[in-house]
Amino acid sequence: MIKLSPSLLAADFNCLGSEIQKIYDAGSDMIHLDVMDGIFVPNTSFGVPVIKSLRKNTSIVFDTHLMITDPIRYIDSFSDCGSDIITFHYESCFDKHAVINKIKNNGKKAGISIKPGTDPRVLEEYAKEVDLVLIMSVEPGFGGQKFMPIALEKLKFCRSLIDRVNPGVMLEVDGGITLDNIQAVTEAGADVIVAGSSVFGAKNVTEAVKSFKEY
Ligand code: DX5
Ligand code: ZN
Cβ of residue 68 lying under 6 Å from some atom of ligand 1: no
Percent of the chain with pLDDT over 90: 99
pLDDT of residue 188: 98
Task: Give the residue numbers annotated as catalytic, written as ranges.
Answer: 34, 174
Q: What angle separates helix 16-25 from helix 205-214, to the nearest 10 degrees?
A: 40
Q: How far is the CA of 143 from the centre of ligand 2 (A)?
A: 8
| Average pLDDT of the chain, as a whole number | 98
Cβ of residue 7 lying under 6 Å from some atom of ligand 1: yes
Q: Are 88 and 97 in contact (CB under 8 A)?
A: no
The pLDDT of 209-213, averaged and rounded, is 98
Give the pLDDT confidence of 131-182 residue by residue, as tens digits.
999 999 999 999 999 999 999 999 999 999 999 999 999 999 999 999 999 9
The pLDDT of residue 1 is above 90:
no
Of 20, 82, 91, 99, the closest CA to residue 47 belongs to 82
Cβ of residue 195 lying under 6 Å from some atom of ligand 1: yes
The pLDDT of 27-55, averaged and rounded, is 98
Whole-prediction pTM: 0.98
| Confidence band, pLDDT 50/70/90 cuts, at residue 17 | very high
The residues pairing with 170 across neighbouring beta strands, listed in sequence order, are 132
Q: How far is the CA of 6 from the centre of ligand 2 (A)?
A: 9
The pLDDT of 104-111, averaged and rounded, is 98
| Confidence band, pLDDT 50/70/90 cuts, at residue 112 | very high
H/E run at residue 199 = helix 197-200
